[in-house]
Amino acid sequence: MILEWIRFIVGTIILCCGLLIFALEVFGVFRFDFVLNRMHAAAMGDTLGIGISLIGLIIFSGFNFTSLKMFLVVIFLWFASPVSSHLIGRLEVTTDEELENYCEIEDNCQP
């Protein structure tokens, strides 16, 4: 009985931390002006927020086959989200004609 309460409290704290990270992500997306800054806030918030939230749900669920599947989802998202964000950011850098208005570009870093 006491172990279930400890698991519930720890899972709730970790899940609330994940929700706090999602709230900070939403604030960052609406606060930043440039699209690459917004995208960075969204990508980092999604990767970390989903990971921490799913770890909280794994603790709620206990250690069984469902928690193994959630852990595999965490691993997949930690690999897929940064890669997809990098590709979208790179597309923005190569196609944005007004990039010089928003940031400094060095001559040796041209795409």
- The amino acid at residue 58 is I
Q: Interhelix angle for 65-95 vs 35-61, to 10°? A: 180
d(CA 61, CA 24): 26
CB count in 10 Å sphere of residue 72:
10
Contacts of 62 (CB under 8 A, 6+ apart): 7
**Mean local confidence (pLDDT), 12-36:** 89
pLDDT given for residue 23 in this prediction: 92
pLDDT given for residue 76 in this prediction: 92
Length of the chain equals: 111
**Mean local confidence (pLDDT), 94-104:** 72
pLDDT tens per residue across span 30-87: 888 877 888 888 888 888 999 999 999 999 888 899 999 999 999 998 888 888 888 8
d(CA 28, CA 6): 33
3-state secondary structure 7-40: HHHHHHHHHHHHHHHHHHHHHHHHHCCCHHHHHH
**Mean local confidence (pLDDT), 92-98:** 77
